Structures are given as C-alpha cells and as structure tokens.
Amino acid sequence: MAKLLPTSTAGSLPKPSWLAQPEVLWSPWKLQDEGLTEGKQDALRLALHEQQHAGIDIVSDGEQSRQHFVTTFIEHLNGVDFEKRETVRIRDRYDASVPSVVGEVSRQKPVFVDDARFLREQTTQPIKWALPGPMTMIDTLYDGHYQSREKLAWEFAKILNQEARELEEAGVDIIQFDEPAFNVFFDEVNDWGIATLEKAIEGLKCETAVHICYGYGIKANTDWKGTLGTEWRQYEAVFPKLQQSNIDIVSLECHNSRVPMELIELIRGKKVMVGAIDVATHAIETPEEVANTLRKALQFVDAENLYPCTNCGMAPLPRQVARAKLDALSAGAEMVRKELEK
C-alpha cells in the first residue's frame, strides 16, 4: 500500500436503527430471514460509503453482519451450546452469562466468507476483515469439555486458520485478529497465546494484524481503566514476543489513554495501527488532536509503517459521532502526511 499513513478503523461501526437498536452491544436484529440478509448487506454498503465519504483508505464491513465481535463467529461452530449457559469472569473484569463448550469444536462451513466476498465486490480499495483471536474466544466461553484454556485455544486457532485462508481467497487484504485478552493474561500470552495466533495465520500470504486494546467504551471497561494508575504499561509485557512473531501489523490504543507512547519502540519493525480516536467518549477529536497523536507515534515508528486508526470499535457510539470521528481521523492524518511530504 503505497499511500503514506493509510487510515483504517479498528473494527465495528454503529448499525443503522432499522437493523438493530443503536448504541447497544449484542442488540437483537429487527429483521428476519431474507429481510435480515438483505438488511445486513444494505448496512454493509452504508458502512462502506461512510468510510469512503470520510476518506478512510483501508475499509471494512464495519461488522454490520454480526451482533458481537466474538460470539457471532462462535455461533457458527459445532461443539458450543448457546442454551447451556454459565456465568464466567470476562477479561478478569466483569461477570457475563456465556455459552458452554460441550464437545469437540469444529467449523462445518465458512462464517464470514460470503460477506467478505460481497464487500470485495463493492470496492477496489484495500479491505480489512476482523476475526476474534483464540485467547479472546476462550475467555468468552465456559469450557466444560477440554477443561484447558490452552487446548481450546489451539483448537480455535485451527478453525480460525481455515476461515482466514478462505477470507484471503475472497479478496481480503488484511486479516485482523482481535485480542483484548492479550492485555490481561500476560503469562498465558507469552507461554502459548502468541503461538496460537501464529497458528491462526499459518500459510496466509495477505497481511495479518493483531488488535490489542482496552475495550469498547462501556462502563465495565472504563471502570477498569480507572484502576490502572497513571501509566498503562500492559503492552510492555507482550510486545517483545510480538515483535519476534510473524504478525505483520499491531493495532493498539493510544489517544486519551495512559499508554506511554515509547512502548511502541518495543515493536520496532512492525507496522503499527495507532489508535488516534478515543471510542470511549462522544467528544469529537479535532484534526489537530489526531495529528498530535500521530506525531508522537512517529518518534517510535517509521512513517511508512504507521497506519492511523481508531482505539477500538465504535459500535456503541451514535452514528453521527462515529462519522465525525472518521472525518477527524482522515483530516488529522492528511495534516501529518503533508508535513512528511515537505
């Protein structure tokens, strides 16, 4: 991708109100059957148009066809019972009722490949597709079968690799794995988490990314952030091993966070999607604020490796707020792009 500082989003965008209740995670669909299929495609077209209108360079589906970034993928797998629910601690942060693993997990057919193919038909721009990472998947379930987080993660990695290979064939340019759990379970990340992620990308020729953030702008996450002190150094525990991995791109949270920017130095040589948009507030960043975040990041990442991005997905935000934030991201990146080209 030749353009300097190509912009993208971390993942989800708000859904239109005719498809699902706005500003809510796990919001039930308002349509059914063929109407739902058509509605998801219309919403995908709309999300693409809004990214293009804002000048976003690497576009996505805005996760319009899924209720949640993890569970929608899991819903399509064998071995998981959504009726048999248990309460577990998610990300060691909050309790949630989750489905149970009751047998061998497997994927009978592609999950998102038709959607990715549809997006590919709508644009010639580079497209990025997000999948949940193995560790974040296991942290969103009760495992009554394998009874081993590591064993289940390896099984999910194999399944994700099957899906990723078909997404690549469908024309996806970047496949991103969402791993917010990497910011919590540091020993497991270094022991086997990154290894399972590398299994998930095995054999891919397209670019690969891992997104590690501090979560959606929901109360459980913002409360947790309030306990982390004046410096958030979680990345420090996993970046050294990530730097040695086969992952091409690391997507991280920066703007309005307490992450010391110099931690990016630990992944020198990787491409970095720098979060320059705060998804935990309705306040709209100015282009100058975005530009300042990017200028700080440029001290620790080469310009050709810097991809301006959002901190996380924007599904819980009002649509007009998300649109304005995309505009700011694009305008701020353009300011820095012009400075670099002088």
Tens of pLDDT, residues 155-204: 999 999 999 999 999 999 999 999 999 998 999 999 999 999 999 999 99
Distance in angstroms (rounded) separating the CA atoms of residues 146 and 104: 8
With 80 as the cut, is the pLDDT of residue 228 above it?
Answer: no
Per-residue model confidence (pLDDT) at position 289: 98
* Nearest Cα to Cα of residue 161 among 120, 193, 131, 190: 131
3-state SS, 262-290, equals HHHHHHCCCEEEEECCCCCCCCCCCHHHH
Percent of the chain clearing pLDDT 90 (strictly above): 84
Distance in angstroms (rounded) separating the CA atoms of residues 15 and 234: 31
Per-residue model confidence (pLDDT) at position 7: 98
Per-residue model confidence (pLDDT) at position 231: 86
What mean pLDDT comes out for the span 92-111? 92
Given pLDDT bands bounded at 50, 70 and 90, which one contains residue 221?
A: low
Q: What is the dihedral of CA 72, 73, 74, 76, to 10 degrees?
A: 90
Per-residue model confidence (pLDDT) at position 129: 98
With 60 as the cut, is the pLDDT of residue 121 above it?
Answer: yes
Query: What is the average pLDDT score of the chain?
Result: 94
Total-model pTM: 0.95
With 70 as the cut, is the pLDDT of residue 152 above it?
Answer: yes
DSSP state of 190: I
With 90 as the cut, is the pLDDT of residue 317 above it?
Answer: yes
Task: Report whether 104 contacts 144 (CB < 8 A).
Answer: no
Per-residue model confidence (pLDDT) at position 89: 84
Question: What pLDDT, in 10s, does the model give residues 60-78?
Answer: 999 999 998 899 999 999 9
Question: Which residue ranges form the domains of the chain, and what is each CATH number?
Answer: 33-341 (3.20.20.210)
Return the H-helix or E-strand segment holding 35.
Answer: helix 33-54
